Structure formats: structure tokens, C-alpha cells
A and B are shown apart, each in its own frame.
Chain A
Amino acid sequence: MINEGFKKNWLKILNFNKNREILEDHEKLKEFVRIPLSPLTLNANILYNFFELLYPKFINDQQNILDIIISTAEKKDKILGLYLYRTKKAGVHQTLEPLPDGLIRIKSLEIEKLDDIFNKIQTQLLKEKGIRISSIRLFKKEAIELINKHCERIEEITIYEFLKRLMDLIQKLFQQDLFLIYPEPIIFEFFRSGIKLLSKIQLKNFFKFIEEILPEFNISLLINGNKIKIVILLQKTSLKSKESKLTIKFFIPDELRVEIDDSNILNNLRTIQDKLKTKKAYYLSQNDIISIISDFFELAIPIKKENLKFLLQKTLFGYRSFENHWNMVPRPKIYNTFLRFLIRLFGFNINLKKLSHWAIPDLIFNYLDFYFGLNSRILLIITDLENKKKEKISRERLSKNICKHSFLLEFEESTLTKISRINKEQLFSKAFDSLFSIKVKITDNYGPISAIIIVDKFLLKNILNNFIFEHSKFSFFPRFKTLKLLKDDRYLTIFPEFPFYKLIKRKKSISLLRLLLPILIDKHEF
């Protein structure tokens, strides 16, 4: 019933997990498996650790799981398969035991509640097998069909293709309620409400867009966990066909012949950088990553402003904790005290370790609240001027040709409650239209809108490259270039122009920096 390739790989994983428990020096086990549902091959030890760490954290932290496959096509839901996993450690799947289909009966998912089904199964299993389960995973037949489709030739596809397929699979599973877990993990609520919020927006298209705006990168990450250290290679390279290739590889330090010495992380990073031939090597703590991911999934969707503010504060705090929570080689020149002293002589205090993580979110949200209001509708248009740089964007003229994506974001009580995709036909009646006429058209269909934001892909690429991927580069010119792009109507237009945006447009980059830096960077050095 399930895809053969998936099954074979899954059984291999179970077998490895079982054997690993027996062996003393399990780190030396050199077996390679694929991450289920993906083309990514990795050392089975790493996957074991992922399961041991992530499953209890995000899904269920108790032992023994029962998988149920049902068909809802008939009046009574028919059980097509029952599979029991006895797990010594929560999340680490070791044995798979098929149970007779007639062991339990489910009237219908529509009639019965999942907690009732769970209790019924628990009683039955205790009676028949003397085992207590902690959760049930319920797959509808259509879910298995979707998973099978997803797994077709999965070993051969590119990472991009895999990620797009995965997004599609997640969206369909949650939109149609094809996969359920009881007790329901928080992450499920996050996915379900997230997909509901996106309504008709395809996650795979969103991912495709991310692929387009991501700059080239070549980095390695050393993730320091409590039980295992993992090295990840991440590369994005451009191909001749204007397309790009994404590479993700997982290693344990032994495979790279690197011995990790916690007291000399920088040396280890340099070795990893050399061995994997990456531009940069980062050191991150596994606990910090888990903490931020966990905070993210615990966000109730629609996301309230206060929660978003808190997450932003936490992210900025993480970023400013260089050499404390994270590290990198080569050491960015921006952290060099002498250079910072020289820059300070010109009146710029740039100390990323003193980034004002507590003041920046307040600044952003207070101004946004005032000018856009606590309830607002914002039309976001993403343009692509790459081959049409001479196209002019103004209040009076916006070309239909250059508009690639448009979304209406609806905020209620400072919470993003709805994102809808808007067709070009809903915006334009001819090849060129004024921003005002677009505003009127949207107002007619969706009610008054507060602002239209038009942003070009080139600007987004620039921001990602200069402020995120090259965040530590000691060069002002690329950043000034990005600031200059922000002032250019072709790359960013906000209609109507609210005063804060006017300020960005009118001030010279240097004086804007002088005005903002004291707010962005904390005053006291110690």
C-alpha cells in the first residue's frame, strides 16, 4: 500500500534504531539512510538523534504509538491497517508490529471524537496486548495516496523540487484533515491555522518565490547538541540555465575527520570551513535553535502583535549574542574594536553586540500602529523589474506586466487575520493603471484599504543579501546602495506615503543612519 521506496527506507531506519540500542559504541555505526519523505541521505545516527530530540519536543514525549490507516469512503470508516510502534525512548521508532484490522472498530470520524477513539483503542490494546500507548496517528487513505505520490522518484529530485512537493503535501494534508494525531501536538494547530490563514495561497508557490529571492550562499554550520554534534553544509549556486541549485548535506564530525574541542571552537570551525570549502562557518547551539523553533510553533495563529514583538525581540537578542550564543569564522571585521573606534570618530556607533533588541520592535510596531492603525487592509504588490528596469512606477502609472504577485493583508486588532491572493485582473483594467484606480478597485471589492506597498524582487534580494547573508561584512557601500534602493520609487512605493517612509525617502543615507543608529544600537558599551 505504501510506496516501496519509503517502506524500504523506513524499515532500514527501524532496524538501525534497534541495533543501535544494543551496540555500545553506536557512534561508530556507519549506516546511511534517507530522511523519511525526502531525498536527503545522512548518517543514521544523526536521524536517530533528530527523532530522539525533536519528536518528544514537538509531537509527543511518551512511549508507544499506534498508526491507524482508515478509509472514509464508505458510511462506516473502514480500518485498512493498524501498526504498533513500541518505543523504548519517546520518538525513537524501533519495531513495527502490524495488528489485526478487526482489533478495533471506528463508527465514523464524523460521529466519534478522537479522544473517544483513543480511549477505546487504549482499553482494547491493554486487554489484548497488555500495552499502553501514548498517541495515535490517524492516516486517511487519501493521505497515504498523497504520500505515495510525494515519494515517487524522490531519490532523484532536486532539493527545491522536494521542498515544493513537501509544502504541497503539508498543505493538502492539513487543508483536508487527512492526517490527525491524538493528543494533538501544538505544531499541528500551528500548521492548521497557518494554512487556513493563507487560504488559497499555495505554499509551494511561496517557496518558489523564496528560492528566487535568496542570494547565492555557501556556508557550513556546526550545531552543538547535548548528545551529538552535527555539521551541515548549505549551498545555493547559480546554474547556467538561470536556475539555481540548493545543496544540503549532513555530517557527523567524524566523517570530516574533525575532532570537536569545545574549548577551541574557532579552530574547529576553521577546519570545517577548509574541509567543506565554504565561505563561512557558523557555530550554533542546538538548545538555542530548539528554543526559537519551539517559540515559533507555539505562536497562536493569527499571530498577535505582542507575540510577534516578543519573537522579534528574541531573534534580535540571539543575533546580538555573537561569541556568546553563536560564533563564526572568518571573524567579521565589524566586531573589531579598533575599526569600530575609527568609525565612531566619524560619529557612527556601530556595535552589533549592543543591538537594541528591546527598543527596535517597540519602534517598528508603535509607528506601524499609529500610521496603519489597529485594523487595516494593506495591498502588497511584488514586482519584477529585472528585464524592464526602465519601467517607471509612479502614483499615476503602474505596469500590469511587471506585477508578479499581489496579496491583500487584513489586520484586525493588530493581528494578521487573513492573507488573500489578488488576481492581476482585479487590479488592472488596462496595461497601465494608476495606484489610485487600483486602490478604488480593491476598495470596491474588499472595503477601504489603508495602503498599497509595492516592492520589487531586486530590493528584497538586496536586503536579504546585504543585511542577512552578508550581515557581518565591513563595507558600507552595499548597505548604502540598499538604502538608496529604498528611496527609489521603482523598487519601493508606499501609497499613500506615510511620514516615516517620507523621512526615509527624503533624508540622505548618511544622515538617516545618524538618526537611526542611536536607536538601533544601545548607548552603553559595558
Chain B
Amino acid sequence: MLTQSKSKKTEVVISKGNTPKESLLKGIDILGGISKFIDEGDHVFIKFNLHLPGGFPTNTNLDTLQTIIISCKKAGAKKVYLGSFPFKGVSIKSISDLLCLNEFFQSNGAELAFLDNSDIFENKEINQDQLKKIKYNSLTNIQIKNNEFLVPNVILNSDKVICVNQINVDPLFKLNLSLYNLYSIIPTKYQEIGKKSRDTNDYISRDQYKRDLISNIFEIFTIKKPNLVINDLYYILEGAGPHIYKDSELKKTGLMILGNDAISVDVVTLNALNLDFNENELIQQAYSKNIIIPKISTIRILGEKLEDIKTNVKLCVSKIDDIRARNVSINSGKYCSGCFKQAYHLLNIMKTYMGKDLKYNIDNSFIVGENPPEPEKVGNFILFGDCAINSTKDYSFKKIITEQKKDIIGETKQKFKKELKFKKKTKVKEKPNKNILDLPGCPPDISNCLELILKYYKKKNVPNLNLLRNVNKLWITGESINKLKIWEAL
């Protein structure tokens, strides 16, 4: 159980500077200097945001990472590793190659930890057995309650862990707090919420997906608690996030919030951004797990005054229906957070990269969730997720009803002959509607969805998506990614 000493007040620093470097160094100084956290000869692991091979703020600010690496080295750290598991289907090597990350860290005296062993994928001679051996030599199976998690040894064996978390808006938890960031110390496959209890009726109404996810987040958090947590909100990605989408905007606050207790740092961060931490589901569930959540009054805030720095951020939409994409009407039923998150990302990708495609293909109904309302428009029907596919089996849009052509000449003849004694019934024919695209999955996988959309609309009708696919092919397919899939499956 996560508890904290009641006798000593947790210290959290809010620092402000003209550059991220200045802000961070100032914050560390107020906390008592880096030597308070790092000892001579320490092996340090820095957990940062590593999602996709994109520019800032998709991943943590390199200015901030450079500053923290140099500080650790100055404090005498023997080894400094940096790492995180990226998004599903993306290997660390592919991100590192595209951003020259490892070279950058090495030039600063640190190393990128290839937690998914993707640095050795390139070696074609490695067979499945060898890969398995490598995988299990670098990861340790840790059991917490009924769950098993594979955690990289480089994290478990490190003397100190620092979490450097870029604050971006997030569709599930409003902000990606450090607690959520620390969840990606386990392989992506293990981060996914399994189907174990999905058959129960109240899975959606209880939002079991989110409950299970939060439960896992806290379990992972107990494995290796960070010694120093830095919430980097010098720049915040707002509007749409946590990746760069069309509606994304960057807001400069000049702030960093740091301390040695992740929960306290997150509570202060939520407070600084005028978000009620009691409403945050991560924090709410922590209460139910008997985790002590410090009240803001019990946290000793150093540096800037909380009242002076409070600012608002434009959060992500909280309902799928609020996402406005050209020529797409959304019909949503009851959905869980898993489908919401994936639908949010898919619709934002469509909005960002498929502007022209959506203009050409009019009247698309995006149907998501259980028992959605019957779509009003006739056109293309995109059924997102197993719930939508299964619960709309008997819906009228699934069939096309055609009436047999009237025999006008015959009817007229009969009129003349006054033979209108028996009125013929018009024949009605039912055909399955072919303009339906099923995007299966619980929740569906985004890259799979994009492939299915391309196949359904055909290349020539979605030129933007075709280009996106060609661009993506250069980093999310190929030998290295196939090996990643094998590695994950082992």
C-alpha cells in the first residue's frame, strides 16, 4: 500500500525561468540541489515521454533532458540511462534513428536504454530462441496481486529513478500526469487492458477499462518509485493532445513543478492548472485504494506562489461527439474509455491528415459504442469497435430496402378495363448495405483502422491517407517492426 509519512510535509517546488534550463536548475536548487537526490557512483534511470518519432512536445523537451543529464553527471552519477516504452507498434530504435536520440544522449554522457531490445533487431542472424533469451535476460517478471508485469532490469537495478514528464493534455486523464508517465516502464503489450472481465453487463457503465487501467497504473507505480519527479509545464500542449494534431496549440507558462513525491507533484500541477484534483479519476481511485493523497494545504510549496502562477489550459474534448471532423457525423452510444481514447486519436488523425479525403467523401457516419442511435444520413457508415458492430446488427441502416418497379402500363390498362378489383402489393427487396466499414477491436487498433479505411474508400478517393500510409511505411513497418511483434509475443 502506498502511504506517506504524516510527520514530514512533502516539499514541492514551483520554479519559473526564462528558459526550460533556467527553470529546472532553479527548481533543483530550491529543492536542495541535485546531490540531495543523486549520490556519487549512482546508476540513474531517467523515465521520460517517448511516444512517437515526432518533434516537441510529442516527446519530452530535449533541453530539459540535457539539463537533467548534465546535473546528474555533475553530482557524480556513474551511469545515466534514459528510456520508456513508446506507442504500440513503434520500436525505440526507430524513434532513436529518426530523432538521433541515442547519439544525442551519448554526446551528453548518457545512454538511451533500448528497453524493447530493438537495438539488436537489426542483427538478422538472431533467431526466435535467441531473441527470447535476450528478452528474458533484460526483463524481470514481477507479480503484484494477480497481475504479472515484465519490468526492464535496467530500471529495477538502477539506484535512482527520475521521472521527467512533459505535461500535455490527454483525452483520458485531462493531463498526462507523472503517474501516467511512469506506467510506460512496462512493455506496450502489458500496458493494454485485457479482455478478462469484458463479458459482464456493466463493463461499460462502470467504465471497467479505466478502472483496470488506473489499477494497473498504481500497481506499476509501486514497483519502483521515482526519487525525483519533474512535471515540465514550461510549454503545455493544449487543445488536442498528447500528440500534435490540427487543433493542438502550445502554451508557454515558463514553469516546472518538481519534488520527490509523484502524487504531491501531480496534485500541485493539477492545482496550478485550475483543475480540481478531487475530480481527477486517477486521484479519485487512489482514495478508494487507500492511498493517501496529500491535501494541497499539507504540501509545502517552495519557489513561486501557487496563487500567482495559476493558469487555465484548453483541455481535450471529453466526449467523442464533440470532435468536429469535416463530413463526419458522430453517432455514439455507451462506450468505455478504451474506445473513447482510440476513437479520439483516430478522428484527430483523420482531421489532421485527411482534410481533402473527407471533403471528397461526403456523409460519413462514425458509429461508436453500445446501442448507438440510428444514423440519420445515408452514406458511409463506419462502425468503430466490437460494441458498435455487435449492437447494430439489427439496425435499419444495415439493410437497403428497394421496392420493385411499378408496372405503370399494366396498371393503366387495368384502369381502362376497370379491372381494379385486386390491388397488387409492391414487392420489397432487402439487400445488405455495402457502404458499411467495420473497424473491429475492443478497443480497435489505430494503424489497423487506417488500413481498413484505405481499403474501403480505395486509394484514389483518399489521396491524403494514401500518402500518410506511404510515409508511415518508412518507420512502422519492415523487418525491425516484425521483430518487435515477435519480441512482444514471446
Q: A374-B56, A496-B99 are in contact. Are A443 and B244 (CB under 8 A)?
A: no
In the bound complex, residues from chain B placing their C-beta under 8 Å from that of A498 are 53, 98
Counting CB contacts under 8 A, is A506 at the interface? yes
Q: A359-B355, A519-B356 are in contact. Are A373 and B57 (CB under 8 A)?
A: yes
Q: How large is the interface on B (under 10, 10 to 19, 20 to 34, 35 or more residues)?
A: 35 or more
- Distance in Å: Cβ of B357 to nearest Cβ of chain A: 9
Tell me if A499 and B474 are in contact (CB < 8 A): yes
Tell me if B66 and A374 are in contact (CB < 8 A): no
In the bound complex, residues from chain A placing their C-beta under 8 Å from that of B33 are none
Tell me if A376 and B464 are in contact (CB < 8 A): no
Chain A 454-507 interface residues, beta-carbon cutoff 8 Å to B: 495-500, 502-503, 506-507
Q: Among A443, A496, A502, A523, which residue has its beta carbon within 8 angstroms of that of B474?
A: A502
Q: Among B21, B57, B248, B249, which residue has its beta carbon within 8 angstroms of that of A375?
A: B57
Interface string of A229-264 (1 = CB under 8 A from B): 000000000000000000000000000000000000
Q: Among A413, A447, A450, A499, which residue has its beta carbon within 8 angstroms of that of B472?
A: A499
- B100-108, B215-223, B280-288, B303-311: which lies at the interface: B100-108
In the bound complex, residues from chain A placing their C-beta under 8 Å from that of B464 are 359, 363, 519
Tell me if A374 and B467 are in contact (CB < 8 A): no
In the bound complex, residues from chain A placing their C-beta under 8 Å from that of B62 are 447-448
Interface core residue of A436, A448, A497, A506 (most chain B CB under 10 Å): A448
Tell me if B104 and A448 are in contact (CB < 8 A): yes
Which residue in chain A gives the minimum CB-CB distance to B251? Answer: A413
Tell me if B57 and A374 are in contact (CB < 8 A): yes
Tell me if A519 and B467 are in contact (CB < 8 A): yes
Counting CB contacts under 8 A, is A324 at the interface? no
Q: Among A376, A440, A499, which residue has its beta carbon within 8 angstroms of that of B55?
A: A376
Interface string of A318-358 (1 = CB under 8 A from B): 00000000000000000000000000000000000000100
Counting CB contacts under 8 A, is B237 at the interface? yes
Could you tell me the dominant secondary structure of chain A's interface residues?
helix
Counting CB contacts under 8 A, is B165 at the interface? no
In the bound complex, residues from chain A placing their C-beta under 8 Å from that of B99 are 496
Q: A374-B55, A374-B56, A448-B63 are in contact. Are A515 and B250 (CB under 8 A)?
A: no
- A101-109, A194-202, A270-278, A364-372: which lies at the interface: A364-372
CA distance A503 to B470 in the complex (A): 7
In the bound complex, residues from chain B placing their C-beta under 8 Å from that of A499 are 53, 98, 471-472, 474-475
In the bound complex, residues from chain B placing their C-beta under 8 Å from that of A413 are 235, 249-252
CA distance A447 to B21 in the complex (A): 10
Counting CB contacts under 8 A, is A414 at the interface? yes
Which residue in chain B gives the minimum CB-CB distance to A447? Answer: B63
CA distance A462 to B314 in the complex (A): 45
- Distance in Å: Cβ of A370 to nearest Cβ of chain B: 5
- Distance in Å: Cβ of A319 to nearest Cβ of chain B: 18
Q: A447-B66, A499-B472, A515-B466 are in contact. Are A374 and B107 (CB under 8 A)?
A: no
Counting CB contacts under 8 A, is B54 at the interface? yes
Interface residues of A (CB under 8 A from B): 356, 359, 362-363, 366-367, 369-376, 412-414, 436, 439-440, 443, 447-448, 450, 495-500, 502-503, 506-507, 515-516, 518-519, 523
Task: Give the 5 A-B CB pairs with smallest separation, nearest first.
Answer: A373-B55, A518-B463, A448-B62, A373-B56, A374-B250
26 A-B pairs within 8 Å (CB atoms) are namely A359-B355, A362-B355, A367-B471, A370-B244, A373-B57, A374-B56, A374-B237, A374-B248, A375-B56, A375-B61, A376-B56, A413-B235, A436-B103, A448-B104, A450-B56, A495-B100, A496-B98, A497-B98, A498-B53, A499-B474, A499-B475, A502-B474, A518-B460, A519-B463, A519-B467, A523-B360
Other A-B pairs, 9, CB within 8 Å; known A369-B244, A413-B235, A500-B471: A362-B246, A369-B248, A375-B56, A376-B55, A413-B251, A450-B56, A499-B98, A499-B475, A503-B470
